């Protein structure tokens, strides 16, 4: 989406719609992490005020600033204590998977509402269309990006939960290098990580729309 801050001057209404979609997507994603961790017996997210749909609990100030400036940022990660979980490895996977799953579920729900509205009123206001399409698109992109198997993304923990314990232990040794792999995949031409996310996301979005 590029720098939303500069888009505010060119197309303020569209920029505000995009910002609202980003806030909703991040809030749902982080809330899902917190809710599942809490339901699995870890009180940490609840004690830190994360089991809420209030966006203020989930937006990271630096991540939000980066979204405004370059269109690429992050929310505030949900902290949890694996020692409070009955099955730390599998429960950690469930907590990690909750974020992307919640985004896909929201995108599916919004797409159903969107299609029903189009049946009732085929000539929807372009701003309404932008809002629905933007919310669906952002949620799918956020879900697929977070499923990349690279630390600190959710996909890394999902893979750790799927592997046998001995292999999962070896997998965890890659965690310290995750940010390096992520930067290379996202920013080093031809940006294979972005190409993969875009390809998979576009296919899902086309199905939903």
Q: In the annotation, is 86 catalytic?
A: no
Residue among 30, 48, 86, 151 flagged as catalytic: 30
**Backbone phi and psi for residue 12, each to the nearest 5 degrees, phi listed first:** -55, -40
Q: Kindly report the number of other CB atoms within 10 A of residue 10's CB atom.
A: 8
Which long-range contacts (C-beta less than 8 Å, at least 24 apart) are formed by 23-27?
A: 23/55, 23/59, 24/55, 24/106, 24/135, 25/103, 25/106, 25/135, 25/138, 25/139, 25/142, 26/55, 26/58, 26/59, 26/75, 26/142, 27/53, 27/54, 27/55, 27/58, 27/59, 27/75
Q: Give the Cα separation of 196 and 207 in Å (integer).
A: 17
Q: How far is CA 115 from CA 20, 27, 136, 202, in A?
A: 21, 24, 12, 18
Catalytic annotation, residues? 30
């Amino acid at each position: 989406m590029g720098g939303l801050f500069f888009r505010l001057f060119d197309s303020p209404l569209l920029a505000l719609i995009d910002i609202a979609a980003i806030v909703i997507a991040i809030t749902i994603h982080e809330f899902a992490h917190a809710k599942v961790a809490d339901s699995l017996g870890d009180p940490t997210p609840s004690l830190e005020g994360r089991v809420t749909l209030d966006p203020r609990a989930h937006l990271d100030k630096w991540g939000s600033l980066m979204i405004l400036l370059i269109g690429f940022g992050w929310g505030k990660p949900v902290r949890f204590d694996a020692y409070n979980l009955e099955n730390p490895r599998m429960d950690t996977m469930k907590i990690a998977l909750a974020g992307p799953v919640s985004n896909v579920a929201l995108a599916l729900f919004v797409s159903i509402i969107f299609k029903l509205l189009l049946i009732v009123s085929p000539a929807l206001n372009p701003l309404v269309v932008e809002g629905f399409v933007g919310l669906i698109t952002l949620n799918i992109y956020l879900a697929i990006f977070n499923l990349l198997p690279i630390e600190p993304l959710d996909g890394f923990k999902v893979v750790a939960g799927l592997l046998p314990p001995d292999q999962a232990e070896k997998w965890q040794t890659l965690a310290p290098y995750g940010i390096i792999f992520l930067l290379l995949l996202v920013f080093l031409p031809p940006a294979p990580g972005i190409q993969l996310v875009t390809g998979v996301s576009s296919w899902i979005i086309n199905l939903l729309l």
